[in-house]
Amino acid sequence: MQGLMQHGALTLDKIIDHAAQWHGGREVVTRSVEGPIVRTTYAEIHNRAKRVSNLLLSLGIRPGDRVGTLAWNTARHIETWYGIMGVGAVCHTLNPRLFPEQIAWIADHGGDKLIFTDLTFLPIIAGIIPRLPNVEHVVVFTDRDHMPADFRLAGDAPHFKGLLCYEDLVAEQSADCVWGGFDEGTAAGLCYTSGTTGDPKGVMYSHRSNFLHTFITMQPDVMGLSQRDVILPVVPMFHANAWGVAFSAPATGAKIVMPGARMDGAAIHELLETEGVTFSAAVPTVWQMLLQHLESTGGTISTLKKVVIGGAACPESIIRAFHEKYGVEVVHAWGMTETSPVGTLSTMTDALEKLPYDQQMPYRLKQGRPPMGVELKLTDDDGNALPHDGKAFGHLKIRGPIIAAEYFRGAGGKILDADGFFDTGDVATIDEMGFMQITDRAKDVVKSGGEWISTIEIENIAVGHPKAALAAVIGVPHPKWDERPILLVKLKEGETATKEEFLDFLQGKIAKWWMPDDVVFVDEIPLGATGKIDKKVIRQRMKDYVLPTIAAAAAGTATLAAADGAGAPVLYAPDPVETPEDVAEAVEPVHEPEVLAAQAEAETVSAEALAASLPDPEPTPVAHIAEAAEPEDVFPHEPLVEAEAKPLEPTPETAFDAPPVFVAEEAPLAMPIQPSKGRKAKAAKTETSGKGGWASPILIGAVVIALVPAALIVVGALGARFGLLDKAIAYDLMTRDLAPLVAWLSLGTGALGVVVAMIGGVQRHWKRALLALAITIGTLAVLFLATGVGGR
Ligand code: AMP
């Protein structure tokens, strides 16, 4: 038996419809890419999103087509999201922090037909368009005065018709557009995973999944959003949908503050204070920068109540600083692009809330518990469930209506187990209170003698060494134990150290058999586009590395027995005398002040290193091993699966000559914004080409023809009245003979206009078509009436 309730499809247009109708005056504030703070409202966003929909339809975008956005968090970006999704097209957020080659690959794999972008990303656009044969237009989020005067592509692209000016197009389009009317399972958004392991894979969100995610995130124990909040999403819209905030803010009617291109500590602090922000969300590096800014300037926080921190493990120093110095609650969260992204949050339970803050801290440092709608399980390699005892660590698996069921174009094949759970690729523990803690990525965990070693645990401790700037642990092959861990250390500026110093530092803090077999000092530890240590690149660089003991055995200077550990003073698997409790105890997170301080410092260094590493499209060589390493293909291309996907043309080297502009979270892009007032009319025409479509001129012609009879009569009458025209010409020729003739002709052109409107888009053209017909019919009626009463 079915329930007897109404079935409203959960489509995302309803969110912005609701915001416009019930919170229409609520502000949306943007630090614009052009510079000034710009204010708008949900009502205005709704109106302009409808215009964007009409623009898309006029450019030939149809339901299911992918439309790319390479853009900052701004009101224009929100309008465009809703404009795209409202007509059933798919919003494909592109991450500008990737290398241009990767962006081109992702846009091509996604099948993007049109791209919206900010001025700051035009150098990237210039490089990638020659590789995107389906992209005919790029719409620039700016007004005519800021359109670039001298945009040049870095390569041949005969298919490309030019840049279009967003504000011009929005002004020209009608705000009448019908949204929705499709199934809630329809695709709404596409976002590629960062691809630190293998090619990026597209996660295709549906209207329903994003709608449910919105409800989930609004709950008090999740983000706890309300109409009274002022929300600052620092996390970019291109990083897993800004954690859903571009949906949940309008859904609640909260004021939203968009940071644009500036995410440095000073810029974020200014927005927090001037706009009265109460809630914000970002990765740890952003908060580290804010806290440093506050520290150095003596700044204060007056309205902020809560921050959600995720994307990477949140150091204790950040949680403490927010709580103790500024009275702000930190909610540590875990999630992935594949999970929409919210998966778990370290919200305190009623029992924990009653404990002293220091006793809450171990739980606040964990990634937390799942909200209703998300199911978690922990398994061993064979899929057997592991206990929730906070010690056993295994594969973290997740299920629910906001979790990916497969990747776009079937990449990676089947991704769910027999029970429908998705393997997150993370290794974790879950404790008795239900708090999950990430201990590693499954691909990174070191398997020694059949047992797992958490690389993150060792790294977190090693980076606490006073001389360490960054630390990374990877597994290297071992003939007997399969793999053994080695520790790579980047020292702080001007420091020198020995291996023994680091091994001694780890003694007693980890299980004995976790002790790295070697310590390698490197100049650089590569970071990926989201600021995480890129172990794929490290493994590639270290592929010719051989453990010193094994190299010595091969050279005959040591016995193989020594190489496989026999007789050596190190352990390679859990010591039989070590109980599992000992091991668990030894690897329990360390909260010593110097370790935590260093963790925090490592986050900062990460941001700096990220800034330094991202603009360089060539991998940075690792000291001591660079000579041995082969040139690496960190981004291999796979043939595309779907027939409609076109293979990439080989990219001319010149395509990426334009200096990469994006650097890191804290560094705003620096492309000069050149006013182009008085630019040539020709260029203006090119940039706005296609704005009216082919139907517009025909319909304008029909309206003009319809007006001609009336014009003839009026001119004839005035000419005769003032003696300028002979009556024979004014009345006989113009009014009696020509006017009816043209009126009959215009009846034909008006009818033709209706046909044209039906082909060219009824929604856009019906007004002009009906106007032409109405004028004609009106004129004919007047003429018949006049003839009827015998008047000339
Ligand atoms: P992405 O899909 O790029 O957002 O990356 C998702 C991955 O980031 C997860 O699978 C985790 O490995 C990592 N991650 C996300 N949040 C956290 C967190 N709070 N602590 C540790 N790792 C995290």
Say what the pLDDT of residue 196 is: 54
DSSP reduced 3-state for 440? strand
Whether residue 334 has its Cβ less than 6 Å from ligand 1? yes
Distance CA 567, CA 561 (A): 7
For 416-452, the pLDDT digits (tens) are: 999 999 999 999 999 999 999 999 988 898 988 878 8
Q: Which CATH class is domain 13-437?
A: alpha beta
Say what the pLDDT of residue 762 is: 58
Q: Torsions phi, psi of 447, nearest 5?
A: -105, 105
Whether residue 530 has its Cβ less than 6 Å from ligand 1? yes
Of 334, 536, 606, 610, which is best to mutate to test ligand 1, by the most ligand atoms within 8 angstroms of its C-beta? 334
Please confirm, yes or no, whether 447 is among the known catalytic residues: yes
Q: Which is the catalytic residue, given 193, 217, 278, 530? A: 193
Say what the pLDDT of residue 529 is: 67
Quote the mean pLDDT of the chain: 82
Whether residue 441 has its Cβ less than 6 Å from ligand 1? yes
Is the pLDDT at 560 greater than 70? The verdict is no
Q: Does domain 454-613 have CATH number 3.30.300.30?
A: yes
Is the pLDDT at 662 greater than 50? The verdict is no
For 52-69, the pLDDT digits (tens) are: 999 999 999 999 999 999
Q: Are 75 and 81 in contact (CB under 8 A)?
A: no
Is the pLDDT at 34 greater than 90? The verdict is yes
Ligand 1 centroid from CA 424, angstroms:
9
Tokens of residue 448, six digits: 């020694």
Overall average pLDDT of the 334-358 stretch: 98
For 254-298, the pLDDT digits (tens) are: 999 999 999 999 999 999 999 999 999 999 889 989 999 999 999
Tell me the torsion sign for CA atoms 326, 330, 336, 339. negative
Q: Kindly list the strands in the beta sheet with 306-309, ordered across the sheet, starting from the edge strand earlier in the chain.
A: 37-41, 27-31, 255-258, 230-233, 279-282, 306-309, 329-335, 342-345
Is the pLDDT at 139 greater than 60? The verdict is yes
Which residue CA neighbors atom 1 of ligand 1 most closely?
Answer: 336
Distance CA 530, CA 512 (A): 33
Say what the pLDDT of residue 357 is: 97
Ligand 1 centroid from CA 192, angstroms:
14
Ligand 1 centroid from CA 455, angstroms:
15
Residue predicted with more confidence, 545 or 533: 545
Ligand 1 atom with the smallest distance to the CA of 425 is 10
For 755-790, the pLDDT digits (tens) are: 776 765 555 566 677 777 787 787 777 777 777 765
Ligand 1 atom with the smallest distance to the CA of 309 is 19
Q: Are 646 and 95 in contact (CB under 8 A)?
A: no
Overall average pLDDT of the 662-691 stretch: 32
Tell me the torsion sign for CA atoms 682, 688, 692, 694. positive
Whether residue 240 has its Cβ less than 6 Å from ligand 1? yes
Whether residue 429 has its Cβ less than 6 Å from ligand 1? no
Residues 6 or more apart whose CB falls under 8 angstroms from that of 652 comprise 130, 154, 155
Ligand 1 centroid from CA 606, angstroms:
15
Distance CA 105, CA 424 (A): 24
Cis? peptide before 548, omega within 30° of 0: no
The contacts found for 63-66 with CB under 8 angstroms, 24 or more apart, are 63/87, 63/88, 63/89, 63/182, 63/186, 64/88, 64/89, 64/90, 64/187, 65/89, 65/90, 65/111, 65/113, 66/90, 66/92, 66/110, 66/111, 66/112, 66/113, 66/190
Length of the chain counted residue by residue: 792
Say what the pLDDT of residue 657 is: 31
Spell out the domain ranges in the chain.
13-437, 454-613, 673-789
Which residue CA neighbors atom 8 of ligand 1 most closely?
Answer: 311
Distance CA 279, CA 304 (A): 6
Whether residue 241 has its Cβ less than 6 Å from ligand 1? no
Q: Kindly list the strands in the beta sheet with 112-117, ordered across the sheet, starting from the edge strand earlier in the chain.
A: 162-165, 137-140, 112-117, 66-70, 90-93, 187-192, 202-206
Q: Are 141 and 71 in contact (CB under 8 A)?
A: yes
For 496-515, the pLDDT digits (tens) are: 999 999 999 999 988 899 99
Which residue CA neighbors atom 5 of ligand 1 most closely?
Answer: 336
Ligand 1 centroid from CA 334, angstroms:
6
Q: Are 371 and 339 in contact (CB under 8 A)?
A: no
Say what the pLDDT of residue 57 is: 98
Whether residue 426 has its Cβ less than 6 Å from ligand 1? yes
Lowest-pLDDT range, 95-104, 183-192, 333-342, 714-723? 714-723
Say what the pLDDT of residue 37 is: 98
Of 336, 342, 403, which is best to mutate to test ligand 1, by the most ligand atoms within 8 angstroms of its C-beta? 336
Distance CA 197, CA 636 (A): 11
For 177-236, the pLDDT digits (tens) are: 999 999 999 999 999 996 555 689 999 999 999 999 999 999 999 999 999 999 999 999
